[in-house]
Amino acid sequence: MAALATVDERLVRVLTAVIPHFDFSVLEGHRGEVAQTAAFEAGLSQKLWPEGTHNSLPSTAADVAPYPIDWNDTEAFIYLAGFIVGVGAVMGYRIRAGADWDGDRQMDDETFRDLGHVEILD
């Protein structure tokens, strides 16, 4: 709940609508300079502070994980991302997922995959 409190209210509405249908955890919303630098240096982000979508407050991005968390279950992450994108579309929001940055529904054409990342566009 603490991470969700740092996320843009539109994305919060989408995530709140998803949770009764798909159990997941919100791992991170806003990311400060130290955390963004650490994520970049660890190869978990391609953006330096303050260019990341996690860097605004409220954050226009959230990192989520299907529950129970199994980092090796990539299919569960992709399924969750698709669920979030779909619910967002029904609610009138454009959501981009780190499993499909270009939004072409092809998961194998991405050079950088961030399966837990979702962000609101516009």
Whether the pLDDT of residue 122 is over 90: the answer is: no
pLDDT tens per residue, range 21-78: 999 999 999 999 999 999 999 999 999 999 999 999 999 999 999 999 999 999 999 9
The confidence score (pLDDT) of residue 83 equals 98
Amino acid identity of residue 49, one-letter, is W
What lies within 8 Å, CB to CB, of 36 at 6+ separation is 45, 47, 48, 49, 50, 52, 54, 55
| Answer CATH for 4-120 from 3.10.110.10, 3.90.920.10, 3.40.50.920, 3.30.1380.10 | 3.30.1380.10
Give the residues across from 96 on adjacent strands: 119
Whether the pLDDT of residue 114 is over 90: the answer is: yes
Segment 105-112 shows an average pLDDT of 92
Segment 93-113 shows an average pLDDT of 95
